Amino acid sequence: MASSKLSRHVRRIRDAIRALPRIRRLRAVPRQVDIAVLDGTNLQLLIPLFGAHRYEVIYVGGEAIYVHPRVLLRALWHVIATRHLTLGYVLAVLEWMKPSIVVTFVDNTLLFYMAARQYRAARFLAIQNGNRLPARDNPPGTPEIYFREFACLGRFEIDQFTRHGARVERYYPIGSLKDSYYRAYRAGAAPAIKEFDLCLPSQFKPNVRLIHSERFDSFEVLTQHVRRFCETHGVSLCVPLRYHPDHPNRAGYEWEHQFFEMRLGRYARLFPNMPGEFTTYGLVDRSRVSLGMHTTVLREGFGRGNRVLSCNYSGNSVYTFPVPGPWALTDPAYEAFEERLLWLLNASEEEYARACGDLPSYLIGYDDNQPTHVFLQRVIADAVRGAAEPSADGQSHEGWQSQRQACG
């Protein structure tokens, strides 16, 4: 019976490898490193955090796999113990790499939750890369959300994840990593001049209608409202695209370019995404009001003090802007859109500041004295030097402030 069970697991691993003929097969054993990156998504944003420390990526999307027999045998043992093929492989690779810390920029993955529970010889740091919808993505009956150390966008996540029942040992509500890089890029530059009245960032990729139809249909209504507003009020409009014509995903650029040209025509000025220039963030800062439908770009812009209007016409409340106010709209009528947008365009600085209060810093916990990327560099460097994992203080905002001061 045991032999039959073992053979079944061996066949599963063999078949999984054979099913990916294009995968890059790494025949050596994994080298020992200071930092292991789980999932290579947005790796270019993580590398500046590592300094001179050694790192390796554990790819889990089919890009590469270690096929050395000693790795696979150890993976087989873990697969039998955990009954999870990918987790078994990840645990085996971690045992060879012996990192001081495991980092990911894909914070909403069950695999990272499970690895953090199973592998206790390293610290585990998840860096939030976008708005999270635990009510939609982790309903009752699904595995518990679990983080050992969670670098989240703001204090809003502490409240949101606590209400949802997630288990988080330590929160770092420090803002958005990409937004922090943008602020560093702009450091010393003159304040952005408001060149455009409206900004409508591109949010979707080809065929996304089939995956997120609620959001896509809502965005369609928004584009109709924007065009009508431009026709009626003669305002200027910029549209930062997701892609550049030279991007490997040329089809994505052509699709979104055609999408906005067909819907907005001469009323919109389209801007390709220039690599390394933070095109979307820059245009948000250079516009009087930015619009969208459930996009982290608006939340980050709000955190930088910009005026935004998030329009959720889906009928699903999970896509509504995280905090209520004049920047959040769910009424699909054009008249409601027009009235709200006119208020945002015409409100004085004092009026808008009173409406915001401390909500921008609640949503994006950026600190000029210790930017997001600087804080993360120090957390990672401390882990490599052997600093113990911080004690779990869960939801304590005071505990977080103490940790930030310690890292400073």
Scanning 293-396, the segments in alpha helix (DSSP H) are 296-303, 334-346, 349-356, 359-363, 372-384
DSSP-based three-state secondary structure for 331: coil
DSSP 46-64: HGGGSTT--EEEE--SSSE
What is residue 26's three-state secondary structure? Answer: strand
60-74, 192-206, 357-371 — which is least confidently predicted?
Answer: 60-74
Domains of the chain and CATH, by start: 2-175 (3.40.50), 189-363 (3.40.50.2000)
For residue 291, name the pLDDT band (cuts at 50, 70, 90).
Answer: very high
pLDDT in tens, 129-172: 999 999 899 999 999 999 999 999 999 999 999 999 999 999 99
Per-residue pLDDT tens digits for 254-283: 999 999 999 999 999 999 999 889 999 999
Q: Do residues 25 and 16 touch, judged by C-beta distance below 8 A?
A: no
| Averaged pLDDT for residues 102-112 | 95
> Which of 100, 78, 94 has its CA nearest to residue 149?
100
Residues 6+ apart with CB under 8 A from 355: 325, 326, 347
More confident residue, 290 or 213: 290
DSSP string, 212-267: -HHHHHHHHHHHHHHHHHHHHH---EEEE-S--TTSS-HHHHHHHHHHHHHHHGGG
Q: What is the pLDDT, as a whole number, of residue 24?
A: 76
> Which tokens in the block code for residue 396?
């304590």
pLDDT digits (tens, 9 = 90+) for 303-334: 999 999 999 999 999 999 999 999 999 999 99
Residue 118 CB neighbour total at 10 angstroms: 16
Residue 29 is given by DSSP the state P
CB 16 within 8 A of CB 346: no
Contact 304, 218 (CB under 8 A): no
Opening angle at CA 108, ends 105 and 112, nearest 5: 75
DSSP annotation of 394:
B
Burial group, residue 203, by CB count within 10 angstroms (0-12, 13-18, 19+): buried
Beta bridge partners of residue 311, listed in sequence order:
329
